[in-house]
A and B are shown apart, each in its own frame.
Chain A
């Protein structure tokens, strides 16, 4: 579980995150949503330590990440996996070498065991016969799957995904979403996904945090989104006229909503 308490982040005079308080739960796909520039990427970078918060606490199972020494942070990061928006695979390495990389660096396995584990991860993301290919030779969707395989190679406790569906077609996005969701449950990880893909929100959002201009505007689950009375959230999620009309029709036709947040 990751707890964020009174988190602030400023760049010079600009306050990007303002008093964020939230909890990301174990075994759930936690989604951070918000418009471009709302601060969700900054929040994720603070969570993984790529940026230092101006003030506040980030507690990983009770351990304050902000107060940790450099060595403690390095050790802590070995419990994290991250999937970047651009996949961030190493160009000079093959798919198999990319997945083996964290194992080469940190595991005590011998070469054969490392290859076996890497292939196991590639099988888990349904990527076969691509071992010897370079990242430039495979599609964007495959790159994302390699990135997922690399991120789970060391069985991380926390998985961070920065816009994993960015640049993918809707069908491939669903495949990636399902994969992340099933891996989260399988490994009981705390998964945090930064997204503005509404299919992800409605499909796998077990804990959704909506960031608006640096503030946590709303928090809930996907079933609460449709009936939410939060104007900023509905304006963001049902941005087009088509979606607004569809939402109106659903509500008018008496779709049973469990909760109205």
Chain B
């Protein structure tokens, strides 16, 4: 039963978020590349600099931190409202009456599911962001594809990929646990469920930003 819940949560929280992650990553990758080309590139800079900075921004910040902030909105509100509604409609009480540890049954699979799926989302986000950058090169002709490729390959540090994944694991825990707490402890009715949902998104976003500062310092 736990395995079933775990797989359901991976699908609901992770796989159902792939679409939004891919769309946002593609366009943000494209926009970063355009901005880098237009604002940083100068005759005094190497031609690969736009590609290089695009890769670093995507890998170091966007695909872990910013993508997780976006997920905090989507997944966080989903978790808080689901658990909050279950609380006010007595579904959690029904689980307790059956002798089931409701927190363990409802929350643990969410946390483990999101922790499992998050590295894949980070990798998909980075890859799609780079595809977006290539889109500006091939379709928008903003930057020559060879320059972009040279930049993407320049001074690549594999640790940054791991850093991105490690950071995302901390953020995944925040995204799953904070809204779970907010939703699980709701008292009252629909207004309180809405409030819990908002609190969940705000609190988890702020915690992600705070922890990003410490994690970046710690892992760099």
Query: Could you list which residues of chain A lie within 8 angstroms of chain B, going by C-beta atoms?
Result: 48-50, 73-78, 80-82, 84-86, 88-91, 101-102, 104-106, 160
Contacts and interface: CB of A to CB of B under 8 A. Distances in A.
Nearest to B94: A88
Contacts of A91: 85-86, 89, 91
A137 to B, nearest CB: 16
A106 B98 CA distance: 9
Q: Is the interface of A mostly helix, strand, loop or mixed?
A: mixed
Interface of B: 1, 85-86, 89-91, 93-94, 96-101
A77 B98 CA distance: 6
A85 B99 contact: no
A19 B116 CA distance: 52
A82 B91 CA distance: 11
25 contacts: A48-B97, A50-B96, A50-B97, A74-B99, A76-B99, A77-B97, A77-B99, A78-B98, A80-B97, A84-B90, A85-B90, A86-B89, A86-B90, A88-B90, A88-B91, A88-B93, A88-B94, A89-B91, A91-B86, A91-B89, A101-B98, A104-B1, A105-B1, A105-B98, A105-B100
Given A104-B1, A105-B1, A75 B93 contact: no
A89 B94 CA distance: 8
Contacts of B85: 91
Contacts of A76: 99
A104 B98 CA distance: 12
Nearest to A71: B99
Given A104-B1, A105-B1, A88 B89 contact: yes
Which residue among B91, B99, B100 has the maximum number of chain A CB atoms within 10 Å of its CB?
B99
A48 B90 CA distance: 14
A105 B105 CA distance: 11
A90 B83 CA distance: 11
A90 B91 contact: yes
A90 B105 CA distance: 13
